[in-house]
Chains A and B, each alone.
Chain A
Amino acid sequence: MRKTLVPPIRPLSAYRIGRHALRVLANSTRGQVAGVFKGGIYLDLDDNWCCITSRGASAGPANICTPFFGGMDILQGCKVTVSRNRNIIIGRYLRVETVTADLWLPPKIDWTPKTLNLGLNAVDKMCVDSIPECGLSGAVWPVHPRWRRLPAEYYAAMPVIRSLSAWLESSLMSSIVKPPPTNCGDLLGLGPGLTPSGDDFLIGMLIALATIGRLDISAILGDAIEPFLCSNTGPISCLYLKTALNGEANEQLHLMINFVLGGHLRQIRPQLGIISSIGHSSGWDSLAGAMIVLRALRPT
């Protein structure tokens, strides 16, 4: 008989929880660990997804923020149950208590056309020569001459991004919003990474539209892409697109957009550093999506 003790179930108190995650926990009883990453654990609970993030990761609508350091043997497929107090029990390793967690809401910002202009000028200067060689940021900022070749997703996305930019310019200037370009769904699931670049780009657009209060435009865009979410992209990307359709995304993207809108010049550079560290190019791709909205708002 083995005499070694297995580690006891480790209790963790979540300190912040997003609205989407809250809804998932309220409506779910069991599921499994769907993905394990350095920054967090994705849970598939009765076909609804949320994420337990580890120490240092950002808040967000689908995130349950904990001081978890990782290092335990939590594996994909591990069983998860949710108790009536919204305690999440993962296998026999971890219990995450969420009752005392604060509700996370996106940060707000005051802005004017003048502050926006300041922010856009600053971010454009900083992004030149900084953008990654993959993803879609090359569609928004000039690509560096040393690049050997543009990524395949760039060529696939460019016609869509051009038509989306034109649609945004006309929609933002008008009280009547026309339907988005029919090819906007082509961005779904496009490009490398866990969350494909095209999805991140759309998320950036949706969050920028929500931040400036143009929920009418984001709703029309949502109507165009929502029917294809499940079939045209993966479940993690689908999760983030759904929360973006409700105007919420990773806190760092909200802050970046807010700093640009509010012309907070001192904060833009460090925030750009944080954005560039999200995924392989996810942060850049979502910022690029936000930029085509903010540029369409730029005073002429």
Chain B
Amino acid sequence: MSARLNSVKRGLFLDSVILMQISRTISKLENVEDAAVMMGTPANQEILNNSNLLTDDGKIAKGGDLIIAVRASDEPSAHLALNQATSLIERPVILKEQSSDVLPATLRAALDDNPNANLALISVPGEFAAAEAWKALRAGLDVMIFSDNVSIEAEAQLKQEARKSNRIVMGPDCGTAILAGVPLAFANEVPAGNIGIIGASGTGIQEVVCLIARAGFGISHAIGVGGRDLSDPVGGLSTLTAIELLDSDPATEHIVLISKPPSERVVKVITKAINRSRKFFTVCFLGSADYVLPNNAVSVKTLKAAAVNVTKIQPDTSSAGDLVSTGRAGAKWIRGLYSGGSLSSEAQVILISHGLKVASNSPIVGADLYVEPSAGHVIIDLGDDKYTVGRPHPMIEPAVRDQPLLDAFQDPSVKVILLDLVLGYGSSLDPADHIASLLQQNWNNDPTIIASVTGTEYDPQVFSRQVDILHAAGVYVAPSNADAAEAAVKLLSMQYDS
């Protein structure tokens, strides 16, 4: 009695010549009476059936599937032939499905699976994150802590330990990194290049790397260090390590350092490290006064200025369109509704630089703390806990911005609304479409909306597509977040002029 075996490979396409070679190879195996590797179309199933090769397993195949069919004089020979055909077929195919079959549940299991791993990305509830980070450091790994709610004392201890053991701890609350081209957490797809980024700011890193990429340049590594790294208790330990790493990286020629203003003590430490480095630095401490930096460093005020200083190319304004004031009578305020914290800080920097009084729920030096309700120019960081309790971050769920946007439409004093869209891995797959749908139903071009899109053509959302959707919805899209804020200020002047 012959043994028949079928195996179906779903959605697998191989060259005809290869299919025929595999068919022949397994047909010639010992004790194999007949064998075929065919697309699983109904017509081919009939052929296989007529050749006494089809089994119930094969009958489930569709036209786009591949059937491996074997008939042998005994079952072991049939299994052997089927296994050989399978291995020949699967050799060139992505192992994605297999690798995701079993996910390790612990750090130790992950290391057992992949002993060559050299970095642990930790995203667990904050109270457990420090303990996991310790385990990772002891296992000799660099650590990226995506989790927040880790105490600053724990952060300082972890980073001290990491410095001792020649490792780096990125975070806590480190939302962005691109290491050797691998995007981690919220990050954009950017070309490789000679510019290294160190950032205590997630969306700050994203804005700078995207402006650099859109200017035609590339990134060696973008190292997030966590928003508190340059605070006094932590002392900039991870920033120091990152400077040393990029300084010794032959691929990196220019380093951009982005952070909120550090403490005076930490500035001195960082300045010394920059002075020791052989690389050029562009330093952007958002919202700070000018610092005296070594000769190999330049201080800039905005994220855009950081990108321009490195690339010497201004963002392309050709596709922004015409800025038209559609403001209503009596309207005079800017309302910024931001998903990116650093982008909201940059907007405040611009507004303050024009002498405007600004309030924010996340104020920079020179801005007031926003207390609802209040009139005036307001920049809101919607990533703040107040807006995200029990909800995803607005970069993931653009609907978080809906109600504040509707409120701004209803507020007759708002002349211009500033928005940011942050693209890349982890972010909403089509944020522009969400906004466009909302505008279509609730907005009559008043107040004016100015947006910026942080992203690249290579991102899953595709930068140009998002810009096009916003344009079609009637939104003015500035080439950078700083340009968007400048445009908003310009729009205020347009009202006064007319």
- The answer, yes or no, to whether B316 is at the interface (CB within 8 Å) is no
The answer to whether B458 and A1 touch across the interface, beta carbons within 8 angstroms, is no
Question: How many A-B contacts are there with CB distance less than 8 Å?
Answer: 162
For B182, give the chain A residue with the smallest CB separation. A6
The answer to whether B43 and A156 touch across the interface, beta carbons within 8 angstroms, is yes
For A195, give the chain B residue with the smallest CB separation. B16
- The answer, yes or no, to whether A179 is at the interface (CB within 8 Å) is no
CB neighbours (8 Å) of B47 from chain A are 152-153, 156, 190-191
CB neighbours (8 Å) of B457 from chain A are 81, 83, 87, 89, 95
The answer to whether B462 and A83 touch across the interface, beta carbons within 8 angstroms, is yes
The answer to whether B64 and A234 touch across the interface, beta carbons within 8 angstroms, is yes
- The answer, yes or no, to whether A19 is at the interface (CB within 8 Å) is no
The answer to whether A2 and B118 touch across the interface, beta carbons within 8 angstroms, is yes
Stretch at the interface among B17-25, B360-368, B381-389, B395-403: B17-25
- The answer, yes or no, to whether A130 is at the interface (CB within 8 Å) is no
Stretch at the interface among B88-96, B127-135, B224-232, B302-310: B88-96
Interface residues of A in 240-274 (CB under 8 A from B): none
CB neighbours (8 Å) of B157 from chain A are none
Q: How far is the CA of A36 from the CA of B463 in the complex (A)?
A: 27
Which of the residues A2, A81, A192, A234 comes within 8 Å of B13, measured between beta carbons? A234
The answer to whether A280 and B43 touch across the interface, beta carbons within 8 angstroms, is no
CB neighbours (8 Å) of B13 from chain A are 34-35, 37, 42, 76, 194, 234, 236
Q: How far is the CA of A2 from the CA of B182 in the complex (A)?
A: 10
Q: Convert B445-472 into 0s and 1s, putting 1 for each residue whose CB lies closer than 8 angstroms to a CB of A.
A: 0000000000001111011110010000
- The answer, yes or no, to whether B497 is at the interface (CB within 8 Å) is no
CB neighbours (8 Å) of A237 from chain B are 39, 63
CB neighbours (8 Å) of B315 from chain A are none
For A3, give the chain B residue with the smallest CB separation. B249
The answer to whether B41 and A190 touch across the interface, beta carbons within 8 angstroms, is yes
CB neighbours (8 Å) of B250 from chain A are 3
Q: How far is the CA of A85 from the CA of B467 in the complex (A)?
A: 13
The answer to whether A29 and B462 touch across the interface, beta carbons within 8 angstroms, is yes
The answer to whether A189 and B63 touch across the interface, beta carbons within 8 angstroms, is yes
Which of the residues A89, A187, A194 comes within 8 Å of B16, measured between beta carbons? A194
Q: How far is the CA of A4 from the CA of B462 in the complex (A)?
A: 27
- The answer, yes or no, to whether A219 is at the interface (CB within 8 Å) is no
- The answer, yes or no, to whether B179 is at the interface (CB within 8 Å) is yes
- The answer, yes or no, to whether B420 is at the interface (CB within 8 Å) is no
The answer to whether B41 and A234 touch across the interface, beta carbons within 8 angstroms, is yes
- The answer, yes or no, to whether A63 is at the interface (CB within 8 Å) is no
The answer to whether A280 and B191 touch across the interface, beta carbons within 8 angstroms, is no
State the Cβ distance, B16 to closest chain A Cβ, in Å. Answer: 4
State the Cβ distance, A139 to closest chain B Cβ, in Å. Answer: 15
The answer to whether A196 and B464 touch across the interface, beta carbons within 8 angstroms, is no
The answer to whether A1 and B41 touch across the interface, beta carbons within 8 angstroms, is no
Stretch at the interface among A109-117, A120-128, A204-212, A225-233: A225-233
**Interface-centre pick from A5, A7, A195, A280 (highest chain B CB count, 10 A):** A5
State the Cβ distance, B62 to closest chain A Cβ, in Å. Answer: 8
The answer to whether A233 and B192 touch across the interface, beta carbons within 8 angstroms, is no
The answer to whether A1 and B36 touch across the interface, beta carbons within 8 angstroms, is no
The answer to whether A280 and B17 touch across the interface, beta carbons within 8 angstroms, is yes
- The answer, yes or no, to whether A107 is at the interface (CB within 8 Å) is no
- The answer, yes or no, to whether A282 is at the interface (CB within 8 Å) is yes
The answer to whether B39 and A233 touch across the interface, beta carbons within 8 angstroms, is yes
The answer to whether B460 and A81 touch across the interface, beta carbons within 8 angstroms, is yes
Given A152-B51, A187-B43, A233-B39, residue A92 in contact with residue B181 (CB < 8 A):
yes
State the Cβ distance, A33 to closest chain B Cβ, in Å. Answer: 9
- The answer, yes or no, to whether A178 is at the interface (CB within 8 Å) is no
Interface size class of A (residues with CB under 8 A): 35 or more
The answer to whether B41 and A83 touch across the interface, beta carbons within 8 angstroms, is no
For A186, give the chain B residue with the smallest CB separation. B43
For A4, give the chain B residue with the smallest CB separation. B180
Q: Convert A78-93 into 0s and 1s, putting 1 for each residue whose CB lies closer than 8 angstroms to a CB of B.
A: 1101111101010010
State the Cβ distance, B167 to closest chain A Cβ, in Å. Answer: 9
Given A3-B249, A9-B458, A83-B462, residue A196 in contact with residue B179 (CB < 8 A):
no
CB neighbours (8 Å) of A230 from chain B are 63
State the Cβ distance, B252 to closest chain A Cβ, in Å. Answer: 9
For A9, give the chain B residue with the smallest CB separation. B191
- The answer, yes or no, to whether B142 is at the interface (CB within 8 Å) is yes
Which of the residues B180, B182, B192 comes within 8 Å of A3, measured between beta carbons? B180
State the Cβ distance, B498 to closest chain A Cβ, in Å. Answer: 34
The answer to whether B20 and A280 touch across the interface, beta carbons within 8 angstroms, is yes
Interface residues of B in 33-65 (CB under 8 A from A): 36-39, 41-44, 46-47, 50-51, 63-65
Q: How far is the CA of A82 from the CA of B38 in the complex (A)?
A: 32
CB neighbours (8 Å) of B70 from chain A are none
- The answer, yes or no, to whether B15 is at the interface (CB within 8 Å) is yes
Interface residues of B in 245-288 (CB under 8 A from A): 245, 249-251
CB neighbours (8 Å) of B37 from chain A are 192
Which of the residues B64, B92, B458 comes within 8 Å of A36, measured between beta carbons? B92
Interface residues of B in 187-243 (CB under 8 A from A): 189, 191-193, 218, 220-221
For A238, give the chain B residue with the smallest CB separation. B63
The answer to whether A5 and B43 touch across the interface, beta carbons within 8 angstroms, is no
For A81, give the chain B residue with the smallest CB separation. B462
Given A77-B94, A193-B19, residue A232 in contact with residue B64 (CB < 8 A):
no
The answer to whether A84 and B468 touch across the interface, beta carbons within 8 angstroms, is yes
CB neighbours (8 Å) of B51 from chain A are 152
Q: How far is the CA of A251 from the CA of B463 in the complex (A)?
A: 35
- The answer, yes or no, to whether B107 is at the interface (CB within 8 Å) is no
In the complex, besides A7-B192, A190-B41, 7 extra interface pairs with C-beta distance below 8 angstroms are: A5-B180, A30-B462, A81-B457, A134-B20, A190-B44, A194-B15, A235-B63
Listed A/B pairs (11) with beta-carbon separation below 8 Å = A1-B118, A37-B13, A81-B457, A83-B457, A83-B464, A92-B458, A188-B43, A191-B44, A198-B43, A234-B39, A234-B63
Nearest 7 A/B pairs, CB to CB:
A189-B41, A6-B181, A35-B13, A193-B16, A190-B43, A280-B16, A75-B94
Which residues from chain A sit less than 8 Å from chain B, CB to CB? 1-9, 29-30, 34-38, 42, 75-79, 81-85, 87, 89, 92, 95, 134, 152-153, 156, 186-196, 198, 230-238, 279-282
Which residues from chain B sit less than 8 Å from chain A, CB to CB? 11-17, 19-20, 23, 36-39, 41-44, 46-47, 50-51, 63-65, 92-94, 96, 118-119, 142, 168, 179-182, 189, 191-193, 218, 220-221, 245, 249-251, 457-460, 462-465, 468
